[in-house]
Structure 1
Amino acid sequence: MSVADGSLEEVLAPECCIMFATADWDEPYWTNKQHCAKSLAAVGTKVLYVESVGLRGPKAASKKDWRRLISRAMKGLASFSLGAVERDKGVFVLSPLVIPAGYRFSILRWLNKVLLGSMLRRAGKKLCFDKPLIWTYHPFMLDVVIDKSGPLLYHCVDDLAAVPGVDAQAFRSAEESLLRRADAVFATAPALAEHCRKLNLNTHYLPNVVDYEHFSAARKVHELPPDLSAIPEPRLGYVGVLSDFKVDFELIFQVARAEPAWHWVLIGEEREGQSSELLRQLREIPNVHFLGHKSYRDLPGYLAGFQVATLPSLINKYTDSMFPMKYFEYISAGKRVVATPLAFTRSPNIEIATALGEQKFREAVASVLQRGGWSEKESLNIVGENTWERRLSRMLRELFRQQSPLSLDSLIDR
């Protein structure tokens, strides 16, 4: 089976793939994991999408964490009973019945290995998997991948060791093993690529990409959603998880107070287990509007109503190792972007206004407001090759330079 990229060059596409994700299939905002799974399925690959195994344990006092844990356990029990379910054409989703953050203790690690190994064997037989490509976003699948003799792809999209609640030492140790065993590594930020290349020379820096057709539909929106149209212009928009270790709420607070005629529109929900006093303070400011979660389908309609798109990120170890998917989504919608100076903003061909601190950020926003948005031709030039179809083609081409398919029997621990 083959897939062609924009230059019509054909590359081999695998018959089947087991993808170990760090996000559940039905997360409010899709990331690399769901998009890559869907792109693989679109070229005829049968994909077993294994949802998050839980990288961090619950906080004892967090009701939200315990609700998440109970919900995940119920999904895991359903998957254990019914097996993988086809959630999109060619994508079969498996919710692992495992103990979150079980990698911290040897007995829990062994139990998770038995549980997940059993579920994978059953799913593989049901779906007639024979020689699956292993595509992973985390290293805690190595316990069920033994005697590797074929293609193993590590897609490094975040510095997960820097996520609050993750055991950084345990993660780094497991990731080191994964890097030494992977046939190819793809990193979405320069800092991640530099980190991975120390242990795997076949590491490639490929930034996040975009579904251009979907987000460019913002240009054709004639009527804004009612909850957005009720907010006065100019609107400064942000779309994504409202995470207190990624978003600079203090910066938003300062700019909103200094510029009461500018209206911030925040689309997204708080991070799981989070309790942010700054976020509570932001809700009290009249020109900051929280619109909550919006479906992926509806996002272009909301982007259409932004005068400025923003990436007001904190600068820390985690954020300096990320390439926000929102960047190309904003560009595709024709929106100019104002951001804090994350490392990715210094990459070639990035068209973005960067500013550090309240005063500079206000000046950058004012400048963008005067310039207006990007034309469709300008957006296409900026996006260039950074679409899911072309990215998948390049990743498969690099991976299968050393093709050696995996046997399911030698892959899944018995």
Structure 2
Amino acid sequence: MAEHTTTGQPVAAAVVPPADDRDWVVIFSGTPWANGAHRQHALARELTVDHAVLFVDPAGHLPRWRVQVRQVTDGLWQCAAPALLPFGRHLPPVNRVNRWLAARVLRRWFRRREASVRLLWLDEDLAAPVAARLGASAVVYDATDLDWTFTRPWNRPHLRRALRSAVGAADLVLASSTALPDRMPASDPAPVVLANGCDPDRFSPDGPVAPWLLSLRRPLIGYSGAVDTRAFDADLVAAVARAHPEWTFVLIGPSTRAGRAPLAGLSNVVLVDAVGFADVPGILRACDVTIIPYRVGGLIDYVHPKKCYEYLALGKPVVATPLPALRALGDTIALAADPPSFASALADALDRAGAPDDAARRREVATRNSWSARGVQLRSLLAGLPR
């Protein structure tokens, strides 16, 4: 890919990309582009169907004195914006200064190419101060998470104020889960649910299988995602694993010490920490059943795990805890709340794991919930916004 940066230049310098006649969308994201397997990245790609997109990474904890812009693909650019001062996530005045600087640099970036911003897209609450500074025709706020739940209690008021500001600045509020709007500040207009999706081609059942799995005892029960104490219910998994030593649990993703502690000493639980997103389908293809063992009733049971559709795209049976956003899929996946019922649902799923008609039906559900389908819905919503 072409790359243009301002390394070696002062922060106020701007890089002018090749001309693009499409309207521009500027996305201030809470997830860096380098972590490119999330909702933000999928929707950014969908927006390039009829827009040019500048994806702005979140500010780090330390100052960044240079702006960097590089082209990711046709119509999509990634920006590492400058930040004058550290700890903007924790100190509101610092956040405002850093956002003022980022907006100033980006305004110059667009002036140099004689372009303007049609849409400002926020999925990072702390980016709300830029809403009035880029001259966008409309502002979209995409609620992917409740950011304040990801910080310590003393910092939550700051982030909750940022959430209210972001929602209040938006002409369109989106929510990634049916369970999110009730947990958000009131908005006018009310939030529109644009649920998470998947890439059915990436998670096709036809493809390579990770060879190292062939040495594990079957049946294999797979999970992809973080093993932590925020969402993952390690106590549930540990209880089921102890009751069924004949099953092998393959847990793919980063883990914390507290998250994996209940799983210690279980020989039928395999933790696989360092796996790239491209390698995940090859591991899950080898599994007989997939699981989403998330805590229900906690701070983040509003989530709509996109892994559910990824599992279904592979044709795999899914057993999950009854998260509010997953209940609508109750005729496609099995929902179970406690160790005995979870184990029973897994046993039933293993009995039917090889049924081809069931696998085809799961794949059909995933296809209906693809990112391309979400893109069609999104473009319809954006068509009603000011230009």
Given the two structures, how large is their TM-score scaled by the length of structure 2? 0.85
Listed as ranges, the matches of 1:12-411 within 5 Å are: 15-27=23-35, 30-41=37-48, 43-53=49-59, 69=61, 76-77=64-65, 80-81=66-67, 83-98=68-83, 99=85, 101-102=87-88, 104-125=90-111, 129-146=115-132, 150-165=137-152, 167-196=155-184, 198-216=186-204, 219-221=205-207, 224-270=209-255, 274-276=256-258, 278-347=259-328, 351-372=332-353, 375=357, 377-383=360-366, 385-404=368-387
SS at 2:368's partner residue? coil
The question of whether the paired residues in 1 share the 8 Å contact of 2:322 and 2:336 is answered with yes
The question of whether the paired residues in 2 share the 8 Å contact of 1:16 and 1:45 is answered with yes
Letter in 1 for 2:138: P
Aligned-partner Cα distance in 2 for 1:114–1:135: 16
SS at 1:215's partner residue? coil
Please say which of residues 246-255 and 347-356 is displaced more in the overlay. 347-356
TM-superposed CA distance for 1:181, in Å, is: 2.4
The Cα offsets for residues 75-124 of structure 1, whole Å up to 9 and x where unpaired, read as: x44xx25x211133322111233356515434413431343224423443
Distance change >3 Å, CA 195–CA 201, structure 1 → 2: farther
Distance change >3 Å, CA 324–CA 95, structure 1 → 2: same
The question of whether the paired residues in 1 share the 8 Å contact of 2:222 and 2:289 is answered with yes
> What does residue 5 of structure 2 align with?
none
SS at 1:324's partner residue? coil
Aligned-partner Cα distance in 1 for 2:218–2:44: 38
Aligned-partner Cα distance in 2 for 1:228–1:127: 52
The Cα offsets for residues 285-329 of structure 1, whole Å up to 9 and x where unpaired, read as: 211112223222222211111111000111244332110000000
Q: Alignment length, in residue pairs? A: 362
Please say which of residues 114-123 and 154-163 is displaced more in the overlay. 114-123
The Cα offsets for residues 348-394 of structure 1, whole Å up to 9 and x where unpaired, read as: 67621111121111111001000115645312432353221221221
Q: Flag the structure with higher helix content.
A: 1
> What does residue 64 of structure 1 align with?
none
The question of whether the paired residues in 2 share the 8 Å contact of 1:151 and 1:400 is answered with no
SS at 2:332's partner residue? coil
Aligned-partner Cα distance in 2 for 1:392–1:127: 27
TM-superposed CA distance for 1:174, in Å, is: 2.2
Q: Which runs of 5+ in 1 are unaligned?
A: 1-12, 55-68, 405-414
Between the aligned residues of both structures, percent identity stands at 25
Q: Which runs of 5+ in 2 are unaligned?
A: 1-20
Task: Report the aligned-residue RMSD.
Answer: 2.5
The Cα offsets for residues 200-247 of structure 1, whole Å up to 9 and x where unpaired, read as: 23421122111112112xx223x5212222211111110012232110
Aligned-partner Cα distance in 1 for 2:177–2:113: 34
